[in-house]
Amino acid sequence: MLLASSLLAAQFWYSIPLIVSVSLVYGATRHELWQPILYHAWHTAVWMIVFMGVIFAILYAVSLTV
């Protein structure tokens, strides 16, 4: 269990650069000025983290029942 948790934690960090990069680029294709780009990027990042968190929670719950 501890090994699985540490493996998961180690792999989790790989998602951070992707989330930052995708959010910024997506925001920049929707706006031209820095303030709205950063605002949009922040909201996109939060949305992605929540979405992935929900998927993770569902899969984790399923894995406990199987």
Partner 1 sequence: MPTPEKTAAPLDSLEIDLREPNFAALLAWLWPGLGHMYQRRYAKGVLFMVCILGTYFFGLALGEGKVVYASWNQVERRWQFPLQLGVGLPAAPAVVQSLAVRRGGELPLGKFMAPPKSQEELSHWHNTLNIRFELGTLYTMVAGLLNVLAIWDAFAGPVISEPGGKERGPPSDDDKDKKA
CA distance 17 to 23: 10
35 binds partner 1 (CB under 8 A): yes
Backbone angles phi, psi at 31, to 5 degrees: -140, 170
The yes or no reply on residue 19 touching partner 1 (CB under 8 A) is no
If binding is defined by CB under 8 A, does position 49 make contact with partner 1? no
| Beta-carbon contacts of residue 14 (< 8 Å; ≥ 6 apart) | none
Q: Which of 4, 5, 9, 29 binds partner 1 (CB under 8 A)?
A: 29
Name the residues that contact partner 1, by CB under 8 A: 11, 14, 17-18, 20-22, 24-26, 28-37, 39-40
